[in-house]
Structure 1
Amino acid sequence: MSEKASLLPLPEELYLRSLTGRLVGENLFDGFKKVAVITYPDRICSAMASSALTSFSYYTGYKDRVGAVFVYDENLRSEVRKIVDENFDAVYIAFGGEQKLSIVNQATLETLKLLRDSGYKNALAIHVRIWLATKQFSTVLSDESLRRWLESLPEIRVFTADLNNKKFLFHRVRIVDGKPVLNTFREALLTDEHVSLLKRSIPPPE
C-alpha cells in the first residue's frame, strides 16, 4: 500500500469512489445481468468495487447472485476459475486507487492472462486508471496472445473522464489493426463537487 495515494485525504478518496461507483454501476454495467468485480486489496479500490456493485444492484434489481467481488492476491488463479465456472456475463477490473501506475499495469496484465488461460469468454469492463496505466491498452495489446483473446470477447467497455466538460464517457472498445478504437455509447454529467475531487485525486508517484 502506498504511503500517499493522492492529494486528497482518505475520507475524500472514499467519497469520490462512492460518486464514481454510482455512475459506473448505472452506465458501464448497463445491460449486464451478473457482474464479477476484481479489485486490488486496498481501501480505495475496495470502495470502488463495492459502490459500483451497490449501484448496479439498485438499477438491475435487488436479488440473489447479481454480482460478486474477487480480490487480486495469491489466490487469484482459483478466484478466476470461480468466475468462469459461475458464468458471470461481465468482469470489471477495478485497480488503481492507492497503487502506482506501474503496479496497476503489472496487475492488469497478470489478471488478463489468468482470465485468458482460464477460458473466460464473456464481456470485460475496465476502470479508467487501468486505461491510463496501460497507456490506453497499448501494453496489453503488445502481447499478441492477449490481443487475440481480447478480439474474441463479445464486448470490452471502459470509461474515461472529460473534466473540462464535466462528463464521464462510457465506451465500447474495438481492436482494429492491433489498436483500440473507442465508440462512445453514453455520457454522464458530473457535479462540480465530483469534478473537483477527480482533479485532486492523482496516482502516487513512481
Structure 2
Amino acid sequence: MSAASRAPLTIAGAAVAALVLSACSSGGTSGGGGNTNFVMGKDGIATADKGERAAAPDLSGETVDGKRLDVADFKGKVVVLNVWGSWCPPCRAEAPDFEKVSQDLKSQGVQFVGINTRDTSTSPARAFEKQYGVGYQSLYDPTGKLMLRFGRGTLNPQAIPSTLVLDRDGRIAARSLSALSEEKLRKMISPVLAEK
C-alpha cells in the first residue's frame, strides 16, 4: 500500500479515536445549542437564576440493580444527578467524592441519583458501584435516552461525566459537563441548598 493510499486510512483512524476519546472527557463546558439560561462561572460550573430555570424532564425507569426509580418522587429535596459510565476514568476518579458528599448531605435533604450510560449490561455498572462504595441508586440508560430528554443544550451526550443539581421544585439550577472534585461538588450544591 502506498503512502498516498494510507493517508485517508490514517485520517479516518484518527477521527474514530477522537470520537472515542471525546465520549469520556475530563473537561467540557458546552451543552450544545439551545437557550438554557445558564451562566458559566470561572470554575466551569454553570448556574441558572431561580426564575430562569427549566424543569427537569421525566427521569424514571429501571436502576442498575433492577428496581424502579422516579426522580420526581424526590421533589422537595435538592437532587444531584450524576451521569457516569463504568468505562470512564474521570467517573472513577470522582465516584468516592460523590459518595462522601451524598452521605454528608443526606440529612439536609439532598438526594443523589446516578444515570449510568453506555454500559452494555448492568454487570459493569454494579461492579463499579460496589468497587467505589456508591450507595445511591442509578438509573440504567445504556443508549442515552434519558439524557436526550433534557432540553437542547442542557447536556452534551459526549461529556461524560456530567452533573446537574435540581432545586426543590425539580428545576435545573446548576450544571457541570466535566468531572468534579469534592470541593467543586459542594460549591455547586451549596447555593441551591441554601435557597428557601
Q: Normalising to structure 2: TM-score of the pair?
A: 0.32
- Decide which structure has the larger Cα Rg and report it: 2
Q: Normalising to structure 1: TM-score of the pair?
A: 0.31
* Higher helix proportion (structure 1 or 2): 1
